[in-house]
Amino acid sequence: MPISLNVFARREFVNDPDLVSLTADFNLPAGVSFNSTPGTFGQSGTIGSGAIAPAPVSGFERNSSNTRVASLSLDFLSAQTIPLCDTRLATLSIDPTGLVIGPYFVIFLATEANADTVLNSGVAGSFTITAVPELSTMLLIASASVISVIRHRRHRVALAQRIVNPPLSRALNGRKISACDPFPTPEDDW
């Protein structure tokens, strides 16, 4: 199942120029690769939505010789003002197959001259791979829990019986003794 990672961008200064086009590379760490379709852009609510030139002018492609790199090329039909707050630029699609547990960082490199003044290059986002127990491990944990519950109930029942019927009264077979009675001896009829 692919990992979807949203990438956000924002304008750094109020007087930065509007964006006419954007070319950006996304780099993944060693061992991680983009899916054959590395991501999506132009959805509702993203930068340039509704004003992006269609393919082949604009597109999102994975590097065929290095699957750790994907390039996003956007040409806008009209100049776009990038908001001052974080706004979604694209959604990356990453293949997690074979990844070990731990954090991974995606590096964003704005390579278009116009974009350099508008968008910050650097870490575009991160994701973490966590361990999911196998079915056999889950069954082992479940059976251990059931056994633990059964043993706990048996222990509670045994404890309740000791409280109601302590060992000394069982030893006396129900005979009552008073403080004046001598201690029973082995010769007594127990």
- The confidence band for 169, taking pLDDT boundaries of 50, 70 and 90, is low
Q: How many domains does the chain have?
A: 2
Give 133-155 as a DSSP string.
--HHHHHHHHHHHHHHHHHHHHH
Residue 77 resides in a domain: yes
Partners of residue 34 on adjacent β-strands: 94
Distance CA 176, CA 8 (A): 83
Residue 181 resides in a domain: no
Distance CA 110, CA 108 (A): 6
Residues 37 and 123 placed together within one structural domain of the fold: yes
Residue 78 resides in a domain: yes
Q: What are phi and psi of 19, to 5 degrees?
A: -95, 125
Classify the C-alpha dihedral 156-161-166-170 as positive or negative: negative
Residues 20 and 96 placed together within one structural domain of the fold: yes
Residues 78 and 47 placed together within one structural domain of the fold: yes
Give the structural domain span for 162. Answer: 135-171
Residues 141 and 124 placed together within one structural domain of the fold: no
- The confidence band for 6, taking pLDDT boundaries of 50, 70 and 90, is confident
Q: Is the pLDDT of residue 175 over 80?
A: no
pLDDT tens digits, 54-69:
888 889 999 989 999 9
Residues 125 and 143 placed together within one structural domain of the fold: no
Segment 156-161 mean pLDDT: 74
The verdict on pTM exceeding 0.75 is no
Residues 7 and 91 placed together within one structural domain of the fold: yes
- Quote the mean pLDDT of the chain: 77
Q: Nearest to residue 76, comparing CAs of 154, 23, 139, 6? A: 23
Residues 114 and 90 placed together within one structural domain of the fold: yes
Helix (H, G, I), strand (E, B) or coil at 21: strand
Distance CA 84, CA 11 (A): 5
Q: Percent of the chain, pLDDT > 90? A: 4
Residues 153 and 99 placed together within one structural domain of the fold: no
CATH at residue 56: 2.60.40
For residues 126 and 28, is the Cβ–Cβ distance under 8 A? no
Residue 190 resides in a domain: no
Question: Looking at residue 128, what is its pLDDT?
Answer: 75
Residues 80 and 142 placed together within one structural domain of the fold: no
User: Exposure string (b/e) for 88-101, b if CB count within 10 Å is 16 or more?
Assistant: bbbbbbbbeeebee
- Which tokens go with 18? 């509007």
pLDDT tens digits, 105-125:
888 776 664 554 455 556 666
Q: Which of 12-21, 48-57, 124-133 is modeled with the greatest confidence?
A: 48-57
Residue 121 resides in a domain: yes
Residues 66 and 110 placed together within one structural domain of the fold: yes
Using the 8-state DSSP alphabet, how is residue 114 labeled? H
- The confidence band for 43, taking pLDDT boundaries of 50, 70 and 90, is confident
Residues 107 and 156 placed together within one structural domain of the fold: no
Residues 140 and 121 placed together within one structural domain of the fold: no
Residue 187 resides in a domain: no
Question: Looking at residue 62, what is its pLDDT?
Answer: 92
